[in-house]
Chain A
Amino acid sequence: MITYDSITKIFGTGKDTVTALDNVSFTMPKGEVVVFLGPSGCGKTTTLRLTNRLETLTRGNIVIEDQNIMDLDIVQLRQRLGYVIQAIGLFPNKTIAENIAVVPKLLGWDKERISERIDDLLQMNNLEPELYRERYPAELSGGQQQRVGVARGLAADPDILLMDEPFGAIDPINREEIQNEFLKLQANLKKTVAFVSHDIHEAIKMGDRIAIFDKGRLIQYDTPEVILTQPKNKFVADFVGSDRALKVLGLMRVSDVVNRRPKNIVQGGDRSPEALKFLDARGFRYGIVIERNRPIGFVTQKSLKYEEGLVRDVVERYPLFLRGKTSLRDVLSFMLMHDAGTFCVVDEDRNFAGTVTYNDIQKAVKESYADEAESDENGGAV
């Protein structure tokens, strides 16, 4: 746990002073990723650099697990906090193994322990140890270098990780991948992570909580869902963007809205006239066709009308099936791409698990914005 207690940072002296941080207080819970978000010059990086004392506090206190950082030895403090930086910051004159070994060596670990740790960390970050240990940073791609950067930050197994726009220098495709890898790691390691970012997408994806800064002040500190659905003022609303409904969808999963027992089910082995009668009687325009508990497609009343044979012979196939963990943002995108209002959800064994319709998604978004009108008024007053 890290507690920031009315921290203030003023750069410069005399008349040329700049207040980088103005009386900011918040608490980072143990084991969570907190994203420090905001435009450049908002104080997010300063907050991070105050934490490992690369900058010195002007006023206020930072307390890590009941210890004021000013009472700790500066070198010991830094060795306790893993540090991963923007431009990756790997030492070009050292091999990958030597780079990862920096902090363990400072801590005086013996050679064998360091060597084992290096292999573990490389494996953890999907880099083959035999292949990468003795290479130099220049021989690695940007994404691989950043993985080594993360490995180096984790080298001495710190409880706390400070990450300063760690994935900022990587192309979008690799960034997505490395973000996913980091989230997977974090799910096991449960580090307390301070993560500086200027990218709202990244913040929503990575953060358990988001701290939004502007001009040295902490504007809002909440979970991504709350930030998106109840932005505190116009600045936050603008920063998260007018497409924030879509971003909320990015946070919601198919499993949140799936209709597990749809009524418009017909079996592939049914005869078309019977199926048509069934749909007509209940007022369904279309039916989902299931065979041996697996969805195979759908039929509409129109397509059944002049058919005599089995339903399976006239079925229109779905272009894809959803999984429980698919995000609603992707689902909506599929709906637009394939001009479809309904998709089937399947489980791991490809068995039918329910449906998601456009209406389900709309309802879910509406519910998450239940108090939007109210907060907009508040926002206007600020």
Chain B
Amino acid sequence: MSTLRFIVDNFDEVMYLSWEHIWIVGVALLIATPIGVVLGIVITKHEQFASRVLNGANILMTIPSIALFGLMLPVLAIVNMGLGKVPAVIALVLYSQLPIIRNTYTAIKNVPPSLVDAGRGMGMNKWKLLRELEIPLATPVIIAGLRTAAVMNIGIAAIATYIGAGGLGVYIQQGIARVYPEMILSGAILVSLLAIVVDGGMAVLERLTTPEGIKVQRKLAR
């Protein structure tokens, strides 16, 4: 109950920190999506780079976030941006690459070759094929990748408070420092809630972007 009181008493600050959290994650996704999707599509057409790109993204993902912040600090310090929102956003963009690239790559690869063949045989060029066949069929799976990235980033952004990025992680960090359980819990609960809401929202988006013909196909297959 006291946690709820804390949230009510500090409502303005809670709203501000939540907004900050969403902003960091949102901006990171906005930057990461075009990069990841384009890379994912490129490696389906240039298969020789596929394993290298996917491995690279995989390695990025294995670096612990707090270590990545530490690694970026001296580099970004050169341009005086070692701390704050910039390194946080950069880290989230990097972490997002694996789910986005991997899902894009898999989704495009999973378009049945017979369909691609039919399109080519009818005289569709690469762009037409991508636009009219491959991307529409791949979109729901690409969105699923974004969903994974978004939920993951909400968690990582909570840690970014240690490099002064702000967001709901502030409550957790300061709560621990001040031994203030209500503050810790507020931060933790709000971050979790945010993750659940975003996950739900992306699930809806996934459904909305599924082509009508595919929905019909699934319904009939059941």
Contacts and interface: CB of A to CB of B under 8 A. Distances in A.
Interface string A153-168: 0000000001000000
A226 B161 CA distance: 84
B133 A91 contact: yes
Contacts of A89: 114-115, 117-119
B121 A138 contact: no
Contacts of A83: 118, 121-122
B64 interface: no
Contacts of A93: 133, 136-137, 211-214
Interface residues of A, number: 28
B60 to A, nearest CB: 33
A65 B151 CA distance: 60
Given A85-B117, A93-B136, A93-B137, A79 B123 contact: yes
A223 interface: no
Contacts, number: 79
A336 interface: no
B153 to A, nearest CB: 30
A137 B123 contact: no
Interface in B85-120: 112, 114-115, 117-120
A102 B121 contact: no
A102 B221 CA distance: 26
Interface in A26-53: 52
Nearest to A85: B118
A381 interface: no
Contacts of B136: 93
B80 interface: no
B217 A92 contact: yes
A138 B118 contact: no
A194 to B, nearest CB: 12
Task: Provide the main secondary structure of the chain B interface.
Answer: helix
Nearest to A77: B123
B13 interface: no
Interface string A116-156: 00000000000000000000111100000000000010000
A79 B211 contact: no
A90 B128 CA distance: 15
A78 B132 CA distance: 18
Contacts of B220: 138-139
Given A86-B114, A87-B112, A93-B211, A136 B217 contact: yes
A138 B122 contact: no
A79 B128 CA distance: 14
Contacts of A78: 120-123
Nearest to A152: B122
B197 interface: no
A91 B115 contact: yes
B62 interface: no
Contacts of A373: none
Nearest to A95: B213
B128 A92 contact: no
A253 B28 CA distance: 75
A76 B122 CA distance: 9
A95 B217 CA distance: 12
B125 interface: yes
B177 interface: no
Interface string B204-222: 0000000111101100110
Nearest to B133: A91
B213 A92 contact: yes
Contact of A106 (B114, B124, B137, B213): B124
A162 B121 contact: yes
A148 B221 CA distance: 20
Contacts of B212: 93, 136
Given A89-B117, A93-B136, A138 B216 contact: yes
B220 to A, nearest CB: 5
B217 A138 contact: yes
Interface of B: 112, 114-115, 117-125, 128, 132-133, 136-137, 211-214, 216-217, 220-221
Given A75-B123, A91-B118, A103-B123, 10 more contacts: A54-B117, A75-B125, A85-B114, A90-B118, A91-B115, A93-B133, A93-B211, A94-B132, A102-B124, A106-B123
6 contacts: A75-B123, A75-B125, A78-B123, A85-B117, A136-B213, A136-B217
